[in-house]
Structure 1
Amino acid sequence: MLSSDIMRGYNDTIILSQLLERDSYGYEISRNIQELSGGAYTMRETTLYAAFNRLERLGYVTSYQGTETFGRKRTYYTITDAGRQFYREKCEEWHVLRHIMQSFIKEEPL
């Protein structure tokens, strides 16, 4: 299992990646993250909704009420142009970080 400290810096990027194709809601995004990571990463609900609040405050996503489900309206999120730009910047940052880390990772067992 991955350390939450390692993943913390990438949560926003992961969430934004899920919104690139279409609008979505928290539970669906959480389920997709777990599925796409092969079960290696589960984003806690508190982490997910704190990230939504931060991303919305920064103007990277907007939210709206969707259709009713079991008596409740779902909150859907959509990525903004600023969010797409931020996502691209974080992807570039990841490529640099990966290159740096490859300089230090030993391929043979110690």
Structure 2
Amino acid sequence: MSKDDAFAADLLRGHTDTIVLGVLRRGDRYGFEIYKTIRDATGGDHEIKEATLYATYRRLEKDGLVESYWGDETQGGRRKYYRITDAGRAVYKNNVAAWVATRRIIDSLLDVKES
């Protein structure tokens, strides 16, 4: 991993909660499905380790931002699904607003022009 990759990974790691909440805004998902959605959304350029994600799910649930429930699977094992709560939607909205403001400041400090 290059220094650039490590920097990007560190930046993304700080936003794991918001990324997961964003995925769940589109509908309930089970754990591995969230992992695949994130990986696929980046064309495979970014993956969040499953262990990190499961720790995130536990933290988000403890904080009341998501709820979990067991699916009624007709094939294979039962899956634990996650659903975003109203509190989770509010945190997501605030985090995205903070990210947009931060990005605007950093872009201006780095003299980055949008094309």
State the TM-score, normalizing by the size of structure 1: 0.89
Match of 1:89 in 2: 94
Q: Does 1:25 align with 2:27?
A: no
Runs of 4+ in 1 over 4 A off after TM superposition: none
State the TM-score, normalizing by the size of structure 2: 0.85
Q: Which structure has the highest helix share of the two? A: 2
Match of 1:50 in 2: 55
* CA distance in structure 1 between the partners assigned to 2:55 and 2:86 by the alignment: 21
* CA distance in structure 2 between the partners assigned to 1:23 and 1:83 by the alignment: 13
Which letter maps to 1:27?
F
| Structure 2, gaps ≥5 residues long | none
After TM superposition, the structure 1 = structure 2 runs for residues 1-110 of structure 1, keeping only pairs within 5 Å, are: 2-3=5-6, 4-68=9-73, 69-70=75-76, 72-107=77-112
Matched residue SS, 1:73: coil
**Structure 1 residue 67: deviation in Å?**
2.3
Q: Matched residues, percent identical?
A: 42
Residue correspondences, number: 107
* CA distance in structure 1 between the partners assigned to 2:61 and 2:107 by the alignment: 34
| Structure 1, gaps ≥5 residues long | none
